[in-house]
Amino acid sequence: MHWILNIATNYLRFAVSLLVVFLMTPYIIGQLGMDMFGLWSLVFAVIGIFGLMDFGFATAAVKTVAEATGADDEQGRNRALASLLMVYAIIGLLSLLLVALLSGSTGGWFDLTETQQDAFLPVFWLLGIAVSLNFPASLFKAALSGAGRMHVVNAVELVMVLVNAGLVYTLLQAGYGITGLAVSTALTMLGTSLALIPLAYRLLPGFSLHWRLMSLRNIRPLLSFSIYAFMANVAVLMTLRLDLVVIKLFLPLSAVALYAVAAKISEYTFLLNKQFSNALMPLVSQLHGRGDTGAIRRVMTDGTRLLLAVAVPAIGLLYYYAPEFMQLWLGEEFAQSADLLRILLLALVPMTLQLNAANILGMTGRHRFLALAMLASAGLNLLLSVALVGVFGIHGAALGTLGAVLLVEAALILPLGCRHSGVSASVFLGKVVWPALPALLPMLACAGALDHWLATDSLGLLCFKVATCGIAYLIGFFFTGLSADERSLLTGKLLRGAPAVRLETE
Protein backbone atom coordinates (compact mmCIF):
# COMPACT_ATOMS: atom_id res chain seq x y z
CA MET A 1 0.00 0.00 0.00
CA HIS A 2 2.89 2.36 0.78
CA TRP A 3 4.15 2.15 -2.81
CA ILE A 4 0.77 3.12 -4.23
CA LEU A 5 0.56 6.01 -1.77
CA ASN A 6 4.12 7.07 -2.64
CA ILE A 7 3.30 7.18 -6.36
CA ALA A 8 0.02 9.03 -5.82
CA THR A 9 1.54 11.66 -3.53
CA ASN A 10 4.51 12.06 -5.87
CA TYR A 11 2.13 13.10 -8.60
CA LEU A 12 0.02 15.25 -6.28
CA ARG A 13 3.04 17.16 -5.00
CA PHE A 14 4.36 17.58 -8.50
CA ALA A 15 0.98 18.74 -9.86
CA VAL A 16 0.76 21.41 -7.18
CA SER A 17 4.37 22.47 -7.82
CA LEU A 18 3.69 22.70 -11.53
CA LEU A 19 0.57 24.79 -10.96
CA VAL A 20 2.50 27.14 -8.68
CA VAL A 21 5.26 27.57 -11.28
CA PHE A 22 2.66 28.11 -14.00
CA LEU A 23 0.94 30.86 -12.01
CA MET A 24 3.99 32.49 -10.42
CA THR A 25 6.45 32.67 -13.34
CA PRO A 26 4.62 35.44 -15.26
CA TYR A 27 4.24 37.35 -11.99
CA ILE A 28 7.94 36.98 -11.12
CA ILE A 29 9.05 38.08 -14.60
CA GLY A 30 6.66 41.03 -14.42
CA GLN A 31 8.09 42.11 -11.09
CA LEU A 32 11.77 41.58 -11.94
CA GLY A 33 11.95 42.29 -15.68
CA MET A 34 13.53 40.04 -18.27
CA ASP A 35 17.19 40.78 -17.49
CA MET A 36 16.83 40.36 -13.71
CA PHE A 37 14.89 37.15 -14.24
CA GLY A 38 17.81 35.98 -16.36
CA LEU A 39 20.17 36.95 -13.52
CA TRP A 40 18.07 34.96 -11.02
CA SER A 41 18.18 31.94 -13.33
CA LEU A 42 21.96 32.33 -13.67
CA VAL A 43 22.52 32.55 -9.90
CA PHE A 44 20.33 29.52 -9.32
CA ALA A 45 22.28 27.60 -11.94
CA VAL A 46 25.62 28.48 -10.32
CA ILE A 47 24.52 27.71 -6.76
CA GLY A 48 22.99 24.46 -7.95
CA ILE A 49 26.49 23.20 -8.64
CA PHE A 50 27.06 23.20 -4.86
CA GLY A 51 24.82 20.14 -4.79
CA LEU A 52 27.80 18.20 -6.12
CA MET A 53 29.33 18.37 -2.64
CA ASP A 54 26.79 15.76 -1.60
CA PHE A 55 29.21 13.31 -3.31
CA GLY A 56 26.35 10.90 -4.02
CA PHE A 57 25.77 10.06 -0.34
CA ALA A 58 22.04 10.92 -0.48
CA THR A 59 21.38 8.28 -3.14
CA ALA A 60 23.61 5.83 -1.28
CA ALA A 61 21.63 6.53 1.91
CA VAL A 62 18.30 5.77 0.18
CA LYS A 63 19.72 2.52 -1.21
CA THR A 64 21.23 1.50 2.14
CA VAL A 65 18.05 2.25 4.09
CA ALA A 66 15.92 0.40 1.53
CA GLU A 67 18.12 -2.70 1.67
CA ALA A 68 18.27 -2.58 5.48
CA THR A 69 14.48 -2.22 5.62
CA GLY A 70 14.07 -5.24 3.38
CA ALA A 71 16.45 -7.22 5.64
CA ASP A 72 14.96 -5.85 8.94
CA ASP A 73 18.41 -4.57 9.90
CA GLU A 74 17.67 -1.51 12.06
CA GLN A 75 21.13 -1.36 13.63
CA GLY A 76 22.89 -1.47 10.27
CA ARG A 77 20.66 1.34 9.03
CA ASN A 78 21.32 3.46 12.12
CA ARG A 79 25.09 2.99 11.98
CA ALA A 80 25.22 4.04 8.34
CA LEU A 81 22.99 7.09 8.82
CA ALA A 82 24.70 8.29 12.00
CA SER A 83 28.06 8.12 10.26
CA LEU A 84 26.66 9.97 7.26
CA LEU A 85 25.37 12.72 9.54
CA MET A 86 28.93 13.29 10.75
CA VAL A 87 30.19 13.40 7.16
CA TYR A 88 27.41 15.77 6.11
CA ALA A 89 28.29 18.17 8.94
CA ILE A 90 31.84 18.35 7.59
CA ILE A 91 30.57 18.82 4.03
CA GLY A 92 28.32 21.66 5.21
CA LEU A 93 31.28 23.49 6.73
CA LEU A 94 33.36 23.04 3.58
CA SER A 95 30.45 24.34 1.52
CA LEU A 96 30.25 27.50 3.63
CA LEU A 97 33.98 28.02 3.11
CA LEU A 98 33.51 27.64 -0.64
CA VAL A 99 30.72 30.24 -0.62
CA ALA A 100 33.06 32.70 1.07
CA LEU A 101 35.88 31.99 -1.38
CA LEU A 102 33.71 32.35 -4.49
CA SER A 103 31.59 35.30 -3.42
CA GLY A 104 34.26 37.81 -4.38
CA SER A 105 34.85 36.57 -7.91
CA THR A 106 31.89 34.61 -9.29
CA GLY A 107 29.89 37.63 -10.44
CA GLY A 108 32.85 38.96 -12.40
CA TRP A 109 33.00 35.85 -14.57
CA PHE A 110 29.79 36.82 -16.32
CA ASP A 111 30.57 40.43 -17.22
CA LEU A 112 27.76 41.82 -15.04
CA THR A 113 27.02 45.50 -14.65
CA GLU A 114 27.55 47.13 -11.25
CA THR A 115 23.81 46.99 -10.51
CA GLN A 116 23.63 43.32 -11.48
CA GLN A 117 26.73 42.54 -9.42
CA ASP A 118 25.18 44.24 -6.37
CA ALA A 119 22.08 42.06 -6.79
CA PHE A 120 24.11 38.91 -7.44
CA LEU A 121 26.17 38.82 -4.23
CA PRO A 122 23.46 38.76 -1.50
CA VAL A 123 21.48 36.16 -3.45
CA PHE A 124 24.61 34.05 -3.87
CA TRP A 125 25.32 34.23 -0.14
CA LEU A 126 21.74 33.45 0.94
CA LEU A 127 21.39 30.42 -1.28
CA GLY A 128 24.92 29.23 -0.52
CA ILE A 129 24.31 29.31 3.23
CA ALA A 130 20.97 27.52 2.83
CA VAL A 131 22.52 24.76 0.72
CA SER A 132 25.38 24.36 3.22
CA LEU A 133 23.04 24.00 6.21
CA ASN A 134 20.75 21.69 4.27
CA PHE A 135 23.40 18.98 3.80
CA PRO A 136 23.10 17.42 7.29
CA ALA A 137 19.37 18.19 7.55
CA SER A 138 18.58 16.42 4.26
CA LEU A 139 19.70 13.04 5.64
CA PHE A 140 16.28 12.55 7.26
CA LYS A 141 14.58 12.82 3.88
CA ALA A 142 16.79 10.03 2.58
CA ALA A 143 15.96 7.89 5.62
CA LEU A 144 12.20 8.27 5.17
CA SER A 145 12.37 7.77 1.39
CA GLY A 146 14.49 4.64 1.66
CA ALA A 147 12.13 3.17 4.25
CA GLY A 148 9.18 3.53 1.87
CA ARG A 149 7.76 6.63 3.59
CA MET A 150 8.10 8.86 0.56
CA HIS A 151 4.47 9.95 0.94
CA VAL A 152 5.42 11.66 4.21
CA VAL A 153 8.22 13.55 2.48
CA ASN A 154 5.82 14.49 -0.30
CA ALA A 155 3.27 15.87 2.17
CA VAL A 156 5.85 18.13 3.83
CA GLU A 157 7.24 19.29 0.50
CA LEU A 158 3.73 20.03 -0.76
CA VAL A 159 3.08 22.33 2.18
CA MET A 160 6.42 24.08 1.63
CA VAL A 161 5.67 24.65 -2.06
CA LEU A 162 2.58 26.60 -1.03
CA VAL A 163 4.47 28.45 1.70
CA ASN A 164 7.17 29.40 -0.80
CA ALA A 165 4.59 30.76 -3.24
CA GLY A 166 3.09 32.92 -0.50
CA LEU A 167 6.51 34.21 0.57
CA VAL A 168 7.54 34.99 -3.02
CA TYR A 169 4.36 36.97 -3.63
CA THR A 170 4.67 38.87 -0.34
CA LEU A 171 8.37 39.72 -0.71
CA LEU A 172 8.12 40.76 -4.36
CA GLN A 173 5.13 42.96 -3.56
CA ALA A 174 7.25 44.58 -0.84
CA GLY A 175 9.92 45.35 -3.45
CA TYR A 176 12.69 42.95 -2.37
CA GLY A 177 13.32 41.69 -5.93
CA ILE A 178 15.56 38.67 -6.42
CA THR A 179 16.75 38.97 -2.83
CA GLY A 180 13.19 38.18 -1.82
CA LEU A 181 13.23 35.13 -4.10
CA ALA A 182 16.43 33.96 -2.43
CA VAL A 183 15.01 34.46 1.09
CA SER A 184 11.86 32.47 0.30
CA THR A 185 13.85 29.68 -1.38
CA ALA A 186 16.32 29.44 1.52
CA LEU A 187 13.62 29.41 4.21
CA THR A 188 11.47 26.76 2.57
CA MET A 189 14.48 24.61 1.64
CA LEU A 190 15.62 24.48 5.26
CA GLY A 191 12.06 24.30 6.59
CA THR A 192 11.38 21.15 4.61
CA SER A 193 14.42 19.33 5.96
CA LEU A 194 13.88 20.45 9.56
CA ALA A 195 10.23 19.36 9.52
CA LEU A 196 11.27 15.83 8.52
CA ILE A 197 13.55 15.33 11.54
CA PRO A 198 10.84 14.59 14.15
CA LEU A 199 8.88 12.58 11.58
CA ALA A 200 11.85 10.27 10.98
CA TYR A 201 12.15 9.56 14.70
CA ARG A 202 8.42 8.96 15.01
CA LEU A 203 7.79 6.81 11.92
CA LEU A 204 10.95 4.70 11.55
CA PRO A 205 11.14 1.81 14.05
CA GLY A 206 14.23 1.94 16.23
CA PHE A 207 15.57 5.04 14.47
CA SER A 208 18.62 6.52 16.19
CA LEU A 209 21.58 8.73 15.22
CA HIS A 210 23.47 8.49 18.51
CA TRP A 211 27.05 9.72 18.38
CA ARG A 212 28.29 6.31 19.55
CA LEU A 213 27.09 4.86 16.25
CA MET A 214 29.27 7.24 14.25
CA SER A 215 32.34 5.79 12.59
CA LEU A 216 34.18 6.49 9.38
CA ARG A 217 34.43 2.72 8.94
CA ASN A 218 30.68 2.69 8.30
CA ILE A 219 31.21 5.06 5.37
CA ARG A 220 33.50 2.73 3.46
CA PRO A 221 30.74 0.35 2.25
CA LEU A 222 28.75 3.35 1.04
CA LEU A 223 31.64 4.82 -0.93
CA SER A 224 31.62 2.01 -3.50
CA PHE A 225 28.13 3.14 -4.47
CA SER A 226 28.19 6.85 -3.61
CA ILE A 227 31.17 7.68 -5.81
CA TYR A 228 29.20 6.56 -8.84
CA ALA A 229 26.05 8.27 -7.57
CA PHE A 230 28.20 11.39 -7.29
CA MET A 231 29.24 11.03 -10.91
CA ALA A 232 25.57 10.68 -11.86
CA ASN A 233 24.74 13.82 -9.85
CA VAL A 234 27.53 15.68 -11.65
CA ALA A 235 25.96 14.62 -14.92
CA VAL A 236 22.48 15.78 -13.89
CA LEU A 237 23.69 19.17 -12.69
CA MET A 238 25.78 19.68 -15.79
CA THR A 239 22.77 18.89 -17.96
CA LEU A 240 20.32 21.09 -16.03
CA ARG A 241 22.52 24.04 -15.09
CA LEU A 242 25.53 24.49 -17.35
CA ASP A 243 23.60 25.27 -20.54
CA LEU A 244 22.57 28.57 -18.93
CA VAL A 245 26.18 29.32 -18.02
CA VAL A 246 27.34 28.51 -21.57
CA ILE A 247 24.66 30.77 -23.05
CA LYS A 248 25.68 33.68 -20.79
CA LEU A 249 29.31 33.30 -21.88
CA PHE A 250 28.25 33.91 -25.49
CA LEU A 251 24.95 35.82 -25.29
CA PRO A 252 23.23 38.48 -23.12
CA LEU A 253 21.03 37.89 -20.05
CA SER A 254 17.89 38.14 -22.18
CA ALA A 255 18.99 34.96 -24.00
CA VAL A 256 19.50 33.27 -20.62
CA ALA A 257 15.92 34.19 -19.71
CA LEU A 258 14.54 32.78 -22.98
CA TYR A 259 16.37 29.50 -22.55
CA ALA A 260 15.65 29.30 -18.80
CA VAL A 261 11.89 29.34 -19.43
CA ALA A 262 12.05 26.59 -22.06
CA ALA A 263 14.47 24.54 -19.94
CA LYS A 264 12.27 24.90 -16.85
CA ILE A 265 9.17 23.68 -18.71
CA SER A 266 11.15 20.78 -20.13
CA GLU A 267 12.58 19.98 -16.70
CA TYR A 268 9.12 19.95 -15.11
CA THR A 269 7.79 17.74 -17.88
CA PHE A 270 10.66 15.34 -17.25
CA LEU A 271 10.02 15.45 -13.51
CA LEU A 272 6.35 14.69 -14.16
CA ASN A 273 7.47 11.54 -15.95
CA LYS A 274 10.01 10.76 -13.24
CA GLN A 275 7.56 10.70 -10.33
CA PHE A 276 6.51 7.14 -11.12
CA SER A 277 10.06 5.79 -11.44
CA ASN A 278 11.24 7.75 -8.38
CA ALA A 279 8.63 6.03 -6.24
CA LEU A 280 9.74 2.63 -7.56
CA MET A 281 13.47 3.18 -6.97
CA PRO A 282 13.54 2.01 -3.31
CA LEU A 283 11.25 -0.88 -4.31
CA VAL A 284 13.78 -2.04 -6.92
CA SER A 285 16.48 -2.01 -4.24
CA GLN A 286 14.31 -4.03 -1.86
CA LEU A 287 13.45 -6.52 -4.62
CA HIS A 288 17.14 -6.86 -5.43
CA GLY A 289 17.85 -7.51 -1.76
CA ARG A 290 15.25 -10.34 -1.85
CA GLY A 291 16.54 -11.68 -5.17
CA ASP A 292 13.14 -11.25 -6.90
CA THR A 293 14.27 -10.89 -10.52
CA GLY A 294 10.77 -11.54 -11.88
CA ALA A 295 9.34 -8.51 -10.11
CA ILE A 296 12.28 -6.39 -11.29
CA ARG A 297 11.51 -7.47 -14.86
CA ARG A 298 7.90 -6.36 -14.39
CA VAL A 299 9.11 -2.96 -13.15
CA MET A 300 10.98 -2.64 -16.45
CA THR A 301 8.05 -3.69 -18.65
CA ASP A 302 4.79 -2.89 -16.86
CA GLY A 303 6.28 0.05 -14.98
CA THR A 304 7.60 1.71 -18.15
CA ARG A 305 4.38 1.00 -20.05
CA LEU A 306 2.30 2.67 -17.33
CA LEU A 307 4.79 5.52 -17.20
CA LEU A 308 4.20 6.17 -20.91
CA ALA A 309 0.50 6.67 -20.22
CA VAL A 310 1.52 9.90 -18.49
CA ALA A 311 4.59 10.80 -20.56
CA VAL A 312 3.24 10.48 -24.10
CA PRO A 313 0.29 12.89 -23.80
CA ALA A 314 2.32 15.33 -21.67
CA ILE A 315 5.19 15.55 -24.15
CA GLY A 316 2.98 15.30 -27.25
CA LEU A 317 0.46 17.97 -26.29
CA LEU A 318 3.11 20.37 -25.01
CA TYR A 319 4.99 19.97 -28.30
CA TYR A 320 1.80 20.48 -30.32
CA TYR A 321 0.71 23.62 -28.46
CA ALA A 322 4.17 25.08 -27.65
CA PRO A 323 3.80 28.34 -29.69
CA GLU A 324 0.32 29.08 -28.36
CA PHE A 325 1.35 28.22 -24.82
CA MET A 326 4.37 30.53 -24.76
CA GLN A 327 2.43 33.36 -26.42
CA LEU A 328 -0.49 33.20 -23.99
CA TRP A 329 1.58 32.45 -20.88
CA LEU A 330 4.46 34.92 -21.09
CA GLY A 331 3.77 37.12 -24.12
CA GLU A 332 5.35 37.87 -27.47
CA GLU A 333 8.85 38.55 -26.08
CA PHE A 334 9.14 34.85 -25.14
CA ALA A 335 7.89 33.53 -28.50
CA GLN A 336 11.38 32.25 -29.37
CA SER A 337 11.24 29.94 -26.36
CA ALA A 338 8.66 27.77 -28.19
CA ASP A 339 11.23 26.44 -30.69
CA LEU A 340 13.71 25.82 -27.87
CA LEU A 341 11.04 23.97 -25.93
CA ARG A 342 10.19 21.72 -28.87
CA ILE A 343 13.83 20.66 -29.28
CA LEU A 344 14.12 19.92 -25.57
CA LEU A 345 10.86 17.95 -25.62
CA LEU A 346 12.25 15.73 -28.38
CA ALA A 347 15.15 14.97 -26.05
CA LEU A 348 12.68 13.96 -23.33
CA VAL A 349 11.41 10.97 -25.32
CA PRO A 350 14.51 8.76 -24.92
CA MET A 351 15.18 10.25 -21.49
CA THR A 352 11.76 9.05 -20.32
CA LEU A 353 12.05 5.61 -21.91
CA GLN A 354 15.26 4.91 -20.00
CA LEU A 355 14.06 6.04 -16.55
CA ASN A 356 13.19 2.60 -15.18
CA ALA A 357 16.17 1.07 -16.98
CA ALA A 358 18.44 3.54 -15.18
CA ASN A 359 16.80 2.78 -11.82
CA ILE A 360 17.25 -0.96 -12.31
CA LEU A 361 20.88 -0.57 -13.36
CA GLY A 362 21.65 1.77 -10.48
CA MET A 363 19.97 -0.32 -7.79
CA THR A 364 21.06 -3.80 -8.89
CA GLY A 365 24.82 -3.52 -9.24
CA ARG A 366 25.39 -1.73 -12.55
CA HIS A 367 25.70 1.72 -10.99
CA ARG A 368 29.25 2.12 -12.29
CA PHE A 369 28.18 1.84 -15.91
CA LEU A 370 25.16 4.08 -15.29
CA ALA A 371 27.24 6.81 -13.67
CA LEU A 372 29.88 6.76 -16.39
CA ALA A 373 27.23 6.81 -19.12
CA MET A 374 25.40 9.75 -17.53
CA LEU A 375 28.67 11.61 -17.07
CA ALA A 376 29.55 10.95 -20.71
CA SER A 377 26.14 12.26 -21.77
CA ALA A 378 26.55 15.44 -19.72
CA GLY A 379 30.08 16.02 -20.99
CA LEU A 380 28.96 15.47 -24.57
CA ASN A 381 26.04 17.82 -23.97
CA LEU A 382 28.42 20.52 -22.73
CA LEU A 383 30.83 20.11 -25.63
CA LEU A 384 28.04 20.12 -28.21
CA SER A 385 26.41 23.15 -26.60
CA VAL A 386 29.65 25.16 -26.62
CA ALA A 387 30.26 24.23 -30.26
CA LEU A 388 26.70 24.76 -31.48
CA VAL A 389 25.86 27.98 -29.61
CA GLY A 390 28.53 29.71 -31.69
CA VAL A 391 26.89 28.43 -34.90
CA PHE A 392 23.15 28.34 -34.14
CA GLY A 393 22.95 30.83 -31.30
CA ILE A 394 20.63 30.00 -28.41
CA HIS A 395 19.17 27.01 -30.28
CA GLY A 396 22.60 25.36 -30.26
CA ALA A 397 22.34 24.62 -26.54
CA ALA A 398 19.06 22.76 -27.06
CA LEU A 399 20.47 20.85 -30.03
CA GLY A 400 23.47 19.85 -27.91
CA THR A 401 21.13 18.33 -25.31
CA LEU A 402 19.20 16.43 -27.97
CA GLY A 403 22.36 15.05 -29.59
CA ALA A 404 23.83 13.85 -26.29
CA VAL A 405 20.59 12.15 -25.24
CA LEU A 406 20.28 10.25 -28.51
CA LEU A 407 23.87 9.04 -28.40
CA VAL A 408 23.93 7.92 -24.76
CA GLU A 409 20.48 7.47 -23.15
CA ALA A 410 18.89 5.95 -26.26
CA ALA A 411 21.86 4.01 -27.62
CA LEU A 412 23.55 2.83 -24.39
CA ILE A 413 21.55 3.04 -21.15
CA LEU A 414 18.19 1.78 -22.41
CA PRO A 415 19.54 -1.29 -24.28
CA LEU A 416 21.71 -2.36 -21.33
CA GLY A 417 18.84 -1.83 -18.89
CA CYS A 418 16.67 -4.13 -21.01
CA ARG A 419 19.33 -6.84 -21.17
CA HIS A 420 20.14 -6.56 -17.47
CA SER A 421 16.48 -7.06 -16.50
CA GLY A 422 15.98 -9.90 -19.00
CA VAL A 423 13.83 -7.96 -21.47
CA SER A 424 14.63 -8.33 -25.17
CA ALA A 425 14.44 -5.41 -27.60
CA SER A 426 11.46 -7.00 -29.36
CA VAL A 427 9.59 -7.43 -26.05
CA PHE A 428 10.34 -3.84 -25.03
CA LEU A 429 9.16 -2.44 -28.35
CA GLY A 430 6.15 -4.75 -28.62
CA LYS A 431 4.91 -4.80 -25.03
CA VAL A 432 6.08 -1.43 -23.72
CA VAL A 433 6.40 1.14 -26.51
CA TRP A 434 3.85 -0.03 -29.06
CA PRO A 435 0.82 -0.16 -26.69
CA ALA A 436 1.32 3.56 -25.96
CA LEU A 437 1.26 4.68 -29.61
CA PRO A 438 -2.24 3.91 -31.00
CA ALA A 439 -3.84 6.22 -28.45
CA LEU A 440 -2.03 9.13 -30.14
CA LEU A 441 -4.54 8.93 -32.99
CA PRO A 442 -7.63 9.93 -30.99
CA MET A 443 -5.57 12.54 -29.13
CA LEU A 444 -4.35 14.22 -32.33
CA ALA A 445 -7.78 13.91 -33.96
CA CYS A 446 -9.28 15.62 -30.94
CA ALA A 447 -6.67 18.41 -31.11
CA GLY A 448 -7.30 18.96 -34.81
CA ALA A 449 -11.07 19.09 -34.34
CA LEU A 450 -10.86 21.52 -31.42
CA ASP A 451 -8.46 23.79 -33.33
CA HIS A 452 -10.88 23.79 -36.26
CA TRP A 453 -13.86 24.75 -34.13
CA LEU A 454 -12.24 26.95 -31.45
CA ALA A 455 -9.52 29.59 -31.73
CA THR A 456 -6.90 29.33 -28.97
CA ASP A 457 -7.10 32.87 -27.66
CA SER A 458 -6.85 32.38 -23.89
CA LEU A 459 -4.98 30.21 -21.42
CA GLY A 460 -8.25 28.88 -20.09
CA LEU A 461 -9.30 27.66 -23.54
CA LEU A 462 -5.85 26.18 -24.12
CA CYS A 463 -6.08 24.26 -20.83
CA PHE A 464 -9.53 23.00 -21.87
CA LYS A 465 -8.12 21.73 -25.16
CA VAL A 466 -5.15 20.05 -23.48
CA ALA A 467 -7.36 18.41 -20.85
CA THR A 468 -9.82 17.16 -23.47
CA CYS A 469 -7.09 15.77 -25.70
CA GLY A 470 -5.37 14.21 -22.70
CA ILE A 471 -8.59 12.44 -21.73
CA ALA A 472 -8.92 11.23 -25.32
CA TYR A 473 -5.45 9.72 -25.05
CA LEU A 474 -6.17 8.02 -21.72
CA ILE A 475 -9.37 6.51 -23.06
CA GLY A 476 -7.46 5.20 -26.06
CA PHE A 477 -4.67 3.88 -23.80
CA PHE A 478 -7.26 2.08 -21.66
CA PHE A 479 -8.13 -0.11 -24.67
CA THR A 480 -4.73 -0.31 -26.42
CA GLY A 481 -2.21 0.02 -23.58
CA LEU A 482 -3.77 -2.27 -20.97
CA SER A 483 -4.47 -5.98 -21.11
CA ALA A 484 -7.96 -7.37 -20.52
CA ASP A 485 -6.98 -8.40 -16.99
CA GLU A 486 -5.58 -4.95 -16.26
CA ARG A 487 -8.72 -3.28 -17.57
CA SER A 488 -10.83 -5.54 -15.38
CA LEU A 489 -8.63 -4.84 -12.37
CA LEU A 490 -8.67 -1.11 -12.98
CA THR A 491 -12.45 -1.00 -13.44
CA GLY A 492 -13.01 -3.07 -10.31
CA LYS A 493 -10.70 -0.94 -8.21
CA LEU A 494 -12.29 2.28 -9.42
CA LEU A 495 -15.78 0.98 -8.69
CA ARG A 496 -14.70 0.05 -5.17
CA GLY A 497 -12.89 3.38 -4.75
CA ALA A 498 -9.53 1.73 -4.05
CA PRO A 499 -6.13 2.53 -5.60
CA ALA A 500 -5.73 0.81 -8.94
CA VAL A 501 -2.05 0.95 -9.77
CA ARG A 502 -0.28 -2.23 -8.70
CA LEU A 503 3.05 -3.84 -9.39
CA GLU A 504 3.17 -7.44 -8.20
CA THR A 505 6.14 -8.24 -5.99
CA GLU A 506 5.26 -11.71 -4.77
pLDDT digits (tens, 9 = 90+) for 31-43: 988 888 888 888 8
- Residue 464 falls within a domain, yes or no? no
Q: Are 278 and 403 in a shared domain?
A: yes
pLDDT score, position 224:
66
Q: Are 282 and 416 in a shared domain?
A: yes
> What is the average per-residue pLDDT within 50-57?
71
pLDDT score, position 110:
64
Q: Are 165 and 233 in a shared domain?
A: no
Q: Are 206 and 235 in a shared domain?
A: no
- Residue 135 falls within a domain, yes or no? yes
CB neighbours of residue 330 within 10 Å:
19
**Is 65 within 8 Å of 144 (Cβ atoms)?**
no
- Domain range for 382 is 227-437
Q: Are 256 and 147 in a shared domain?
A: no
Q: Are 186 and 50 in a shared domain?
A: yes
Q: Are 19 and 103 in a shared domain?
A: yes
- Residue 453 falls within a domain, yes or no? no
For residue 159, pLDDT over 90 is answered with yes
For residue 217, pLDDT over 50 is answered with yes
Confidence of residue 505 (pLDDT cuts 50, 70, 90): very low
Range with the largest mean pLDDT of 111-125, 270-284, 444-458: 444-458
H helical segments located in 138-252:
139-146, 150-173, 177-203, 220-250
pLDDT score, position 500:
44
The pTM score is 0.70
- Residue 470 falls within a domain, yes or no? no
pLDDT score, position 494:
57
Q: Are 111 and 84 in a shared domain?
A: yes
Q: Are 381 and 259 in a shared domain?
A: yes
- Residue 268 falls within a domain, yes or no? yes
How far is residue 132 from each of residues 4, 187, 500, measured CA to CA in Å? Answer: 33, 13, 41
Reported as a single tens digit per residue, the pLDDT across 348-407 is 999 999 999 988 888 787 877 888 888 888 889 989 999 999 889 899 999 999 999 999
**Is 148 within 8 Å of 63 (Cβ atoms)?**
no
- Residue 443 falls within a domain, yes or no? no
pLDDT score, position 344:
94
> What is the average per-residue pLDDT within 226-241?
68
Q: How many domains does the chain have?
A: 2
Confidence of residue 469 (pLDDT cuts 50, 70, 90): very high
Give the rounded distance of the alpha carbon of 134 from its chain centre. Answer: 18
How far is residue 489 from each of residues 27, 428, 474, 494, 495, measured CA to CA in Å? Answer: 44, 23, 16, 9, 10
- Does residue 102 or residue 342 have the better pLDDT? 342
- Does residue 291 or residue 473 have the better pLDDT? 473
- Please tell me the least confidently modeled range out of 205-219, 297-311, 359-373, 435-449: 205-219
Q: What's the mean pLDDT when you consider all of the chain?
A: 84
Backbone angles phi, psi at 98, to 5 degrees: -65, -40
- Using the 3D structure, point to which of 184, 218, 252 is the last residue of a domain: 218
Q: Are 248 and 352 in a shared domain?
A: yes
- Residue 394 falls within a domain, yes or no? yes
- Does residue 335 or residue 506 have the better pLDDT? 335
Q: Are 153 and 214 in a shared domain?
A: yes
- Using the 3D structure, point to which of 405, 437, 469 is the last residue of a domain: 437
Range with the largest mean pLDDT of 68-82, 249-263, 479-493: 249-263
pLDDT score, position 104:
64
> What is the average per-residue pLDDT within 420-445?
93
Q: Residue 506 burial by CB count (10 A; 0-12/13-18/19+): exposed, middle or buried?
A: exposed
pLDDT score, position 502:
45
- Using the 3D structure, point to which of 437, 467, 491 is the last residue of a domain: 437
- Residue 199 falls within a domain, yes or no? yes
Rg (CA), the chain: 23
**Is 181 within 8 Å of 168 (Cβ atoms)?**
yes
Q: Are 188 and 260 in a shared domain?
A: no
